[in-house]
Copies of this chain bind each other. A is one copy, B any other.
Amino acid sequence: MSKNLINWLENLLLWGIIIKLKAMTSFTEENYLKIIYMLTEQNGGNEVSTNELAEITQTKAASVSDMLRKLAEKNLINYRKYQGVTLTKEGQQIALSVIRKHRLWEVFLVDKLGFGWDEIHDIAEQLEHIDSKELTEKLDKFLGSPQFDPHGDPIPDSKGKMPSMASCKLSEVPIDQTVVMVGVLVHSPAFLQHLDKNHITLGSTIKIQEVSEFDKSFTVLLNNNQSVFVSNEVAKNLLVK
């Protein structure tokens, strides 16, 4: 009967919609996945705790618990109650895609629009959730397929593979050695502006002239022949090669 057929088609359509909804990740879910990815990295691959997530998302632990249950149902995280979480393959893919978009947009904001590296974070936090694969790939081409963002962070490729680069903290480099500034471990506007004021930017050549016994502060020579003072606190957060 044609009415049965129509019902059947409608059911199929309905199923299609349900499957689509289940496959979709919301703005908020994407944020959780991204943060779990970054914290897992920081922890050296260990599980991320509920409280850590609550701290960073600026919500309460109870809200995090709710969300973790939901993400686990969607198979995006590995979740054993009270034991913290890690990402599944699928969750990692989504996290990497969000990070890719975030970092590509940061390159756009600095290279094309002329923003400072201390001004772009909040805008990129919004742009990273724009949903269009074609857009991401065209943006990537337009920017010349950059490997690193304006803070020196690696940009994963469309398959989620991160470019790697050996680097270490400036604080660990021996005296008299000459190195190149390739990244920062802290992204706060205050830190970045401090570097600007001292003419230290991505790509700066840094020669370590003197290290104080007392407070482990550095005096370094930059490529412009300027001699600047670098506290240990700063040196610990500068990546060089």
Contact = CB atoms under 8 A, between A and B. Distances in A.
Contacts of A123: 130, 132, 135
A114 B131 contact: no
Q: Label chain A's interface by main secondary structure.
A: helix
Contacts of A127: 127, 130
Copies of this chain, count: 2
A66 interface: no
A139 interface: yes
A132 B142 CA distance: 22
Interface string A97-115: 0000000000001001111
Contacts of A139: 113
B138 A115 contact: yes
Contacts of A126: 130-132
A47 to B, nearest CB: 34
A105 to B, nearest CB: 10
B132 A122 contact: yes
Interface residues of A, number: 18
A118 to B, nearest CB: 13
A138 B111 CA distance: 12
A90 B131 CA distance: 30
A29 interface: no
Contacts of A113: 135, 138-139, 142
Contacts of A114: 138
A119 interface: yes
Contacts of A215: none
Contacts of A135: 109, 113, 123
Contacts of A213: none
A134 interface: yes
Interface string A134-162: 11001100100000000000000000000
Given A112-B142, A113-B139, A113-B142, A119 B131 contact: no
